Amino acid sequence: MTKTVFLLLLIVFPFYGWGQIQGTFVQDGYPYPMVKVYFEGISGKASSSFEGNFQLKIPQDSIPNHLIINYNGITLTVTDCPLENGETLDFGTFILPKFKQLTIEEYHALKRKNRKQCLPLYQGSNIVGYQLKNELEASKLQLYCDENKGVSNFIFDKKRNAFTTSWENFIHCN
């Protein structure tokens, strides 16, 4: 009996106090797989599944601070995350920001210098448009905010394709 209780405590105790973040990544209404999620300076990363779902567990004695979300060459950093031991944050549906889409005609109307900032969009082997990698499709990051809201208080580093916002802006959709 004592061995059973001891064994049960050995199995359950290491997970007590772990924090967790979970949710589903989408873009254009579709699940987004292979998004990397981790906290800066803490071992352990998660990737979203083909259904866009992710679950990141944070070790018991870790103090997470900056949440990093990385996908398709884009990095989103949320600073000062207040996740505590044993707490679970559920983002629900998390809408990933995307770059401005251009038609083939709009691409050809750009100056040569600006064309270097574009990536082709393919359907099969055909180019169907371009993505302007230094301009966002929308002026706000919708993330997990309601449809008419979004985070407008963020920094966008065009050279690194990196967005940075604070937890307060993120959670309150400022």
- Biggest alpha carbon distance in the chain? 78
Provide the CA 166 distance to its chain's centre, in angstroms: 14
Q: Which residues contact 7 (CB under 8 A, 6 or more apart)?
A: none
Domain 16-97+138-172 belongs in CATH node 3.40.50.10320 = no
Q: Alpha-carbon torsion 8, 14, 16, 18, what sign?
A: negative
Higher pLDDT, 97 or 69: 69
Phi and psi dihedrals of 106, rounded to 5?
-65, -40
Domain with CATH 2.60.40.10 in the chain: 16-97+138-172
pLDDT in tens, 109-151: 999 999 998 999 999 999 999 999 888 888 788 777 777 788 8
pLDDT in tens, 71-118: 988 899 999 887 776 788 888 888 888 889 999 999 999 999 999 989
pLDDT at position 33? 96
Which of 93, 76, 72 minimizes the C-alpha distance to 29? 93
Looking at residues 18-43, what average pLDDT do you find?
Answer: 90
Q: Does 50 have pLDDT greater than 90?
A: yes
pLDDT at position 13? 41
DSSP annotation string for the chain: -HHHHHHHHHHHGGGTT-EEEEEEEEETTEE----EEEETTSS-EEE--TTSEEEEEE-TT-----EEEEETTEEEEEES----TT-EEEEEEEEPP-EEEE-HHHHHHS-HHHHTTEEEEEETTEEEEEEEEEEESSSSB-BTS-TT--B---EEETTTTEEEEEHHHHHHT-
